[in-house]
Amino acid sequence: MVRPLVRDRFAVSIQTEPFVTEALQKALHEREAGAIVTFTGYVRACNDGAAITALELEHYPGMTENSLRAILDEAAQRWSVLAATVVHRVGLLAVGEPVVWVGVSSAHRGDAFTACEYVMDYLKTEAPFWKKEHGDTGSRWLEARASDSERARRWQLP
């Protein structure tokens, strides 16, 4: 599926470095954009009652980027999206650090909200990232949540 004209406005980055949301959002903006919706995910101090000291993120290089681009393509086919960006960090992240950023620009807010939430729900259930929590009592791989699968299923077309 090659759609170069559309693909230009859809950016994916997997990186260890932090990101600056102001710059990412500015890059999404254009004259016809009336609305930008962004999501930022952070490392929480606490998860399911356990105190966290750091989060380690592993991914499948190559497949991750392809998976995220496919999710953006699908969002652009289903809603009126002017531009969209996904940035996801990997490696060791401290509590409070941003992990993921999704931004969507659109003429109107309904499309921007819906497409941004769609991208996050599919990223959570399809993109090959894995989180390992490091805490005072040791380390553990996170289990996938049934609630995430249910959220993604809401978007399935009949």
Partner 1 sequence: MIRVRFFARVREQLDCELLELPWEPRYGTLDGLQAALEQRGEPWGDVLRQPNLIRAVNQAVVSTNAILQAGDEVAFYPPVTGG
Q: By CB under 8 A, name the binding residues for a copy of itself.
A: 20-22, 25, 29, 31-42, 44-46, 95-96, 107, 109-110, 112-113, 116-117, 120, 151
Using DSSP's 3-state secondary structure scheme, residue 156 falls into: coil
* Closest to a copy of itself by CB, 13 or 40: 40
Give phi and psi for 39, each to the nearest 5. Answer: -125, 130
Closest approach of a copy of itself to the CB of residue 81, in Å: 15
SS3 34: coil
How near is the Cβ of 74 to a copy of itself at its closest, in Å?
A: 18
Q: Which is nearer to a copy of itself, 20 or 92 (CB)?
A: 20
Which residues in this chain contact partner 1 in the complex, by CB under 8 A? 41, 57-60, 62-63, 66-67, 88, 99-100, 120, 123-132, 141-144
Dist. CA 95–CA 43, nearest whole Å: 5
Among partner 1, a copy of itself, none, what does residue 50 contact (CB within 5–8 Å per kind)? none
Q: What does the DSSP assignment read for 56-102?
A: EEEE-TTHHHHHHHHHHHHHHHHS--SEEEEEEE-EEEETT-EEEEE
> CB 27 → partner 1: shortest distance, Å?
21
Toward partner 1, which CB reaches closer, 131 or 134? Answer: 131
Residues 6 or more apart whose Cβ sits within 8 Å of residue 65: 12, 14
